[in-house]
């Protein structure tokens, strides 16, 4: 293995500027809570929900979607942001296909509130799952979602014993980690010999497939396409996009073997996600938070939106991924049985 001081995953130098970084986006969204924008945003949210409910009704009428219990749970959680139900169901399907790697005691890096990890725990029959996250208040949430423990930590400095986990999983988190090398070395340290690393992350094709980027590129406006991609990177805080070959070489250099990089999440699925995520492109009319609050008061509204979200999520998740038509990677690797840290 190469010297630990060497860098294998160089982070993008994103920079920031008013209105295009994450904080700028939040300031624009805050304006949607002022009159009359708040009323306009809520109206847009209800109209959006009506359109999705109509689509869901057509899908069910023609038997194109059969949501299961997991889809329904995602629908209840994400009824106000249905694109997230789509995104997470696609990821959960990809991860649960590697259920054989999730035996024993596991660690979820960047677990958030633990809802998605809790679903994966059931889908992949995971016995014990511990979580770490940089938000300390998630400790209670993860316990309610079936986690055996929680540590408040960043991914590159985890206060847990070496060789204490049979697998480490991370669900679309590593692209947000500035020191990705440090995080992957920590994952290797925490794994027992022979333990598995499994993660999902956007591929370079994600940048070029984004709706506005792809449109500019198709029109021959390549500088504008790159500028649009950079804006998205800043807003999303995406620091890393690696090819399959880079993932294989870099993980091997860090000390993993048996590296496999599998494409998933099609461009068509990303297009559907972005169509449903249109409020993020018009932050002054951002409505998911208003729809969520209204749903808490009007249970029939929440149930209706949860149902349509489950139906649409189940439908989009079944779409195949044509050769070369992916936007994300499913990466798996193993800590070797032999100790090769030197």
Query: pLDDT per residue over 40-96, tens digit each?
Result: 999 999 999 999 999 999 999 999 999 999 999 999 999 999 999 999 999 999 999
Kindly list the distances between the CA atom of residue 47 and the CA atoms of 53, 54, 287, 313, in Å, as whole numbers in the listed order. 10, 11, 11, 19
- List the one residue out of 70, 64, 67 whose CA is nearest residue 314: 67
Averaged confidence pLDDT in the chain: 92
* Pairing verdict, β 326-334 and 165-171: unpaired
Note the pTM of the prediction, 2 decimals: 0.92
Question: Token pair for residue 323?
Answer: 């050769």
| pLDDT-wise least confident of 86-90, 188-192, 308-312, 320-324 | 320-324
Q: Round to whole Å and give the CA distance between 264 and 287.
A: 30
> Is the pLDDT confidence value at 17 over 50?
no
Q: Round to whole Å and give the CA distance between 325 and 105.
A: 34
More confident residue, 20 or 269: 269
Q: What is the residue whose two structure tokens read 């993980």?
A: 251
Q: Which domains does the chain have, with CATH numbers?
A: 22-334 (3.40.50.150)
SS3 readout for 236-272:
HCCCCCCCHHHHHHHHHHHCCEEEEEEEEEEHHHHHH
């Amino acid at each position: 293995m190469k010297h630990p001081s060497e860098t294998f995953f160089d982070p993008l130098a994103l920079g920031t500027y008013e209105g295009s970084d994450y904080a700028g986006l939040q300031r624009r969204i805050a304006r949607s809570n002022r009159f009359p924008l708040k009323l306009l945003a809520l109206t847009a949210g209800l109209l959006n929900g009506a359109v999705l409910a109509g689509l869901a009704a057509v899908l069910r009428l023609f038997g194109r979607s059969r949501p299961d219990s997991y889809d329904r749970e995602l629908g209840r959680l994400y009824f106000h942001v249905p694109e997230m139900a789509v995104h997470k169901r696609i990821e959960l399907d990809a991860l649960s296909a590697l259920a054989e790697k999730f035996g024993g005691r596991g660690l979820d890096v960047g677990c958030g509130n633990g809802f998605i990890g809790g679903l994966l725990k059931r889908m992949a029959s995971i016995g014990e799952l511990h979580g770490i996250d940089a938000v300390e208040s998630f400790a209670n949430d993860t316990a309610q979602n079936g986690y055996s423990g929680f540590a408040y930590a960043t991914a590159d400095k985890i206060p847990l014993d070496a060789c204490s986990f049979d697998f480490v999983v991370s669900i679309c988190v590593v692209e947000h980690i500035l020191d990705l090398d440090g995080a992957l070395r920590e994952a290797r340290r925490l794994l027992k010999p022979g333990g598995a690393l499994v993660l999902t992350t956007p591929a370079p094709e994600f940048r070029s497939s984004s709706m506005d980027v792809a449109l500019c590129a198709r029109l021959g406006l390549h500088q504008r396409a790159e500028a649009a991609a950079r804006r998205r990177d800043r807003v999303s805080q995406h620091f890393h996009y690696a090819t399959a070959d880079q993932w294989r070489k870099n993980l091997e250099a860090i000390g993993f073997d048996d590296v496999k990089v599998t494409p998933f999440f099609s461009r068509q699925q990303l297009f559907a996600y972005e169509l449903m995520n249109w409020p993020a492109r018009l932050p002054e009319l951002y409505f998911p938070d208003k729809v969520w609050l209204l749903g808490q008061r009007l249970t029939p509204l929440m149930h209706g939106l949860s149902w349509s979200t489950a139906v649409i999520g189940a439908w989009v998740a079944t779409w195949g991924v044509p050769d070369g038509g992916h936007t994300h990677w499913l990466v798996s690797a193993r800590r070797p049985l032999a100790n090769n840290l030197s």
